[in-house]
Amino acid sequence: MYFKRIFTPGLSHYSYMVGDGGEIAVIDPMRDVGVYIEEARKANKKITHIFETHRNEDYISGSMELSEKTGAEIYISKYEDLGHVYGEKIGEDDEFRIGKLRIAPIHTPGHTLGHLSYVLYMGDVPYMAFVGDTLFWGDLGRTDFYGEDRLVEMTAHLYDSIFEKLFSLGDHVLMMPAHGAGSACGGAIEERDCSTLGYERKENPALQVDSKEEFVEKHSYMRLKAPYFEKMELCNVEGAAYLPGEVISNVLSLEDIQREDYTVVDIRSREAYSGKHIERSIFTSTKILSAYLGWIVDTEDPIVLLVDGLKDEELKTAYWTARRMGYDNIVGILGEGTVKSLEIEDTGLKSTKEIGAKEYLEMHREMLVLDVRREEEVEEDYPYMNRLNIPLQLLKERVGELSSEKEIAVICGSGERATVACSIMERAGIDGTVVAGGVKGIASQLKDRD
């Protein structure tokens, strides 16, 4: 048997290739499909089947392009009509042979109504379950996509899918989810490389419940939904433009950017951005780009990436992550030496003011504290006089609420999100001061004083 798991950094997405004889099936391919074609070529096999677990909402699917390039058939769920322009609809009555392997879809609603999981059998024994966004390592798929009215119904579906359908396959079955730790699709996915249904049944914290009622009670809650998800949902039924193989290398000048009113996205480190950055640029370092870009920049906006001082590999990761999220209007880059030359010309640059924990504790009474953590993270965990909580994800929409005579101290867990927030505020003409080290820094400062 041939097996390959393809990890997409940034999105923390897993797609899978399974094969036998001369054939390979791909499960949930990402947008840039060259990797599957190359792997199949190396294995001297042909991609013949493409299976989708569900209509994805956090990245663009590569099914159509992969099908066109390989001739493979695409299979999608018959249990929900979303208006797909592609794919043959399948359900639990169907099964597929890949060489000696047998692949059978099972209907596992909860994350979406039509969600399918795929069970791979060795002979008559279930061997692997490709569970999409139903179940993750240490976490669950979210159940809030159909709104508050259907939250309880969808969460109850998820319980049945996991406890009745997946677990009846047997504890020994290898469990293959569509996302790993760091994905926007799960809040608490654990860092592990493999797992079985039995291990998750025993150890997954989200599954430690005594009844279906307890499960529904515990997991029926609404989460924030990034604006770019709507474009993804549309692309993944209507089909998105195919991707070129090359990373953009079009080097632009500051004049080009100002003339055309492009949005500069600064993907350097937090320290580099805070030290000196192009005025009105948006900061999301490469490590947090997939989590926040979708909240701050519209997918249609023309974007220029500031990559000064970064390695080629970092530009590559950021570029492909953005394209996989549907950012098709990346018009160029600002490369090596950009910041230095602007510094010499003394034009177009700004710094972000920062204070440390010690200064914060001395000054906070005179400040407005903007806490940009998610609501559920915010506790009475540090001293403040006036605090306003706006999660970073919602700050672009709510930045107008920030009228203050006082200096605004922006705080998060470590300082990274606070810096993103200050870049959003700068575009709205509001100055912010980052609390470097964030809540963690304040906690250790307070501990040192005890």
Q: Which residues bind Fe ion (CB under 5 A)?
A: 133
Decide whether 133 or 200 has the Cβ nearer to Fe ion.
133
Decide whether 133 or 139 has the Cβ nearer to Fe ion.
133
- Minimum CB separation of residue 428 from Fe ion in Å reads 32
- Minimum CB separation of residue 54 from Fe ion in Å reads 6
- Minimum CB separation of residue 372 from Fe ion in Å reads 25
- Minimum CB separation of residue 73 from Fe ion in Å reads 22
Nearest to 409 by CA among 379, 427, 383, 428: 383
Decide whether 133 or 426 has the Cβ nearer to Fe ion.
133
Q: What is the DSSP letter of 265?
A: E
- 289-296 vs 416-427: helix axis angle to the nearest 10? 20
> 235: Cβ–Cβ under 8 A, 6 or more apart, which residues?
60, 61, 326
- Minimum CB separation of residue 77 from Fe ion in Å reads 13
- Minimum CB separation of residue 141 from Fe ion in Å reads 7
Decide whether 182 or 198 has the Cβ nearer to Fe ion.
182
- DSSP β-bridge partners for residue 265: 282, 305
Three-state SS string over 302-327 comes to: CEEEECCCCCHHHHHHHHHHHHHCCC
Decide whether 65 or 133 has the Cβ nearer to Fe ion.
133
Q: Which residue is nearest to Fe ion (CB)?
A: 133
**CA-based end-to-end distance of the chain:** 60
As given in the structure block, the two tokens for residue 275 are 């030290």
- DSSP β-bridge partners for residue 264: 304
Burial (CB < 10 A; 0-12, 13-18, 19+), residue 5, is middle
Three-state DSSP at 105 gives strand
Decide whether 143 or 393 has the Cβ nearer to Fe ion.
143
- Minimum CB separation of residue 443 from Fe ion in Å reads 35
As given in the structure block, the two tokens for residue 20 are 């036998």
Decide whether 186 or 332 has the Cβ nearer to Fe ion.
186
Do 443 and 437 contact (CB within 8 A), yes or no?
A: no
Cα(304)–Cα(175) distance, rounded to whole angstroms? 40
Q: What is the DSSP letter of 192?
A: -
